[in-house]
A and B are shown apart, each in its own frame.
Chain A
Amino acid sequence: MTTTETAPTYSGDIYTDAALLEPYEDYRALRELSPAVWLEKHGAYAVARYDEARAVLMDSDTFRSANGIALNEPANEAILGCTLASDGELHAHLRQVVAHRLTPRALRPMKDLVRERADELVAELVERKSFDAVADLARALPLSIVPDFIGWPQEGREHLLRWAGANFDSFGPMNERAQRAMPQCGEMAAFGAEVVRTGNVLPGSLGAGVLEARDKGEVTTEQTMMLMLDYLAPSLDTTISAVGSAIWLFSQHPDQWDLLREDPSLIPNAVNEIVRIESPIRAFGRLANVDTEIGGVPVPAGSRVLVIYASANRDERKFERPDEFDVTRRDAVHQLGFGLGDHGCAGQGLARMETESLLHALAQRVTRFHVGETERALNNLIRAFGTVQVTVDTED
């Protein structure tokens, strides 16, 4: 392809508190400008349109994840060698060691458990009428499922959410939030290393499987530590974000909730639509391996590239009425909120199962959500609510 333009420059900081709270106007401006826009403040090319975001994700030979995921060097160094931040054969190998435990088939035995937990939780909350949809619902289900599934020992679990949040903050530019996060990422890594050293994981869990792989010589001890972090850090906050956003969205769009209640077979598509319109992970980076182009805009070797899933998912070039929440949207499944291709989210089967189970349980009981106080949880990477106070109406 011939390269015709050079990338325009965007001088705004898209990681200030204000920008993180209301990101969508910045994203729209980036999409308007060009397929690739130089983010002066962050030293990276923003890829904000759908087609180009998809193309970058699909071309993992050119756009590398090792040293590429975060917008700052210390964080990239800290995660080098985990599945998320590796390439090529190493990546395929690491992914294969664990990901087969997360495929829909492997998760089938989990389905009843997740459904049951979701039902119990929702029944109790609906009884109470008023609750915090983040603390009491969105956090409660993943916390009752995922740490056991990964096999994390009981001691240390009280830190999981703080560590996971810090991990995602550290992937942004080296702003104050990232600086504050770095020591906590260190704590998490040290804890992961200790778990591997002592073999203190629940029997039969995903973590136990990783240790077995080490004992069989399939992965090194160091890789084992990275794999533990791989499945710990991204498995909670992401799903929590999606569920919190879901309740808020349905409270604002009661007509959409009615549709779901009338036809629960819409629930899987609704999960795609939630992840499309309020993408839990805003963006991840890549490193251009060779001189290349993005949508005709030249991008030199060694450039940092930022794939903004949350913007691609609202690209008016791809989605009709992109800012409208529509659970019947036919192409919602094309959303990129779980990534795509080689690094496409390995845990999406579990995330979908958790979110769908909660929506099922709620759809059986709740007719309306009335939202009171809400508060955003600011994070460089994750878009989420910290609080969504809600009161529910039921049929009787």
Chain B
Amino acid sequence: MKIEVDYKRCEGHGLCEDQAPDVFELDDEGDLIYQFEGQDVPAEHQTAAARGAAACPVAALRVVQ
């Protein structure tokens, strides 16, 4: 499982981070840091990552595969 982040669309609402703090993080500037950019999401984080992606209110996160 991979997650595609549309950084242009992300408005920093942070709801993804609330759901999956090990996967998504907002830095001090409010910019999104996605821990598994370009990689497969490790199995132990997949459930949380999918929950985080589904929580994004502007649909900036897309689960692929």
Which residues of A are at the interface with B, using a C-beta cutoff of 8 A? 58, 99-100, 103-105, 108, 268, 331, 333-334, 338-342, 344-345, 348-349
Of chain A, the residue at the smallest CB distance from B54 is: A334
Report which of A58, A100, A268, A348 forms a contact with B57, defined as CB distance below 8 A.
A348
Question: Could you tell me if A103 and B11 are in contact, using CB atoms closer than 8 angstroms?
Answer: yes
- B44 interface residue (CB < 8 Å to A): no
- B63 interface residue (CB < 8 Å to A): no
Q: What's the least CB distance linking B17 to chain A, in Å?
A: 10
Question: Could you tell me if B15 and A333 are in contact, using CB atoms closer than 8 angstroms?
Answer: yes
Question: Could you tell me if A340 and B13 are in contact, using CB atoms closer than 8 angstroms?
Answer: no
Q: List 17 A-B contacts (CB under 8 A).
A: A104-B11, A104-B12, A104-B30, A105-B12, A108-B30, A268-B18, A331-B51, A333-B19, A334-B55, A340-B58, A340-B59, A341-B58, A342-B59, A344-B59, A348-B13, A349-B11, A349-B13
Within 8 A of A (CB), among B1-34: 11-15, 18-19, 29-30
Cα A151 to Cα B55 in complex, Å, equals: 31
Of chain A, the residue at the smallest CB distance from B11 is: A103
Whether A58 contacts B54 in the complex (CB less than 8 A), given A104-B12, A268-B18, comes out as no
Question: Could you tell me if B30 and A105 are in contact, using CB atoms closer than 8 angstroms?
Answer: yes
Question: Could you tell me if B57 and A103 are in contact, using CB atoms closer than 8 angstroms?
Answer: no
Interface residues on B, range: 10 to 19
Cα A108 to Cα B59 in complex, Å, equals: 22
Whether A333 contacts B11 in the complex (CB less than 8 A), given A108-B30, A268-B18, comes out as no
Cα A333 to Cα B17 in complex, Å, equals: 12
Inside 8 A of A341's CB, which chain B residues have their CB?
58-59
Q: What's the least CB distance linking A214 to chain B, in Å?
A: 23
Whether A103 contacts B55 in the complex (CB less than 8 A), given A268-B18, A333-B15, A348-B13, comes out as no
Question: Could you tell me if A333 and B30 are in contact, using CB atoms closer than 8 angstroms?
Answer: no
Question: Could you tell me if A103 and B15 are in contact, using CB atoms closer than 8 angstroms?
Answer: no
Q: What's the least CB distance linking A139 to chain B, in Å?
A: 25
Inside 8 A of A105's CB, which chain B residues have their CB?
12, 29-30
Whether A344 contacts B30 in the complex (CB less than 8 A), given A104-B13, A333-B15, A333-B18, comes out as no
Inside 8 A of A268's CB, which chain B residues have their CB?
18
Cα A227 to Cα B15 in complex, Å, equals: 26
Inside 8 A of A99's CB, which chain B residues have their CB?
11
Report which of B14, B19, B54, B59 forms a contact with A104, defined as CB distance below 8 A.
B14
Q: A342-B58, A342-B59 are in contact. List 19 more A-B contacts (CB 8 A).
A: A103-B11, A103-B30, A104-B12, A104-B13, A104-B14, A104-B30, A105-B12, A105-B29, A108-B30, A333-B55, A338-B57, A339-B57, A340-B58, A340-B59, A344-B57, A344-B59, A345-B57, A348-B13, A349-B11
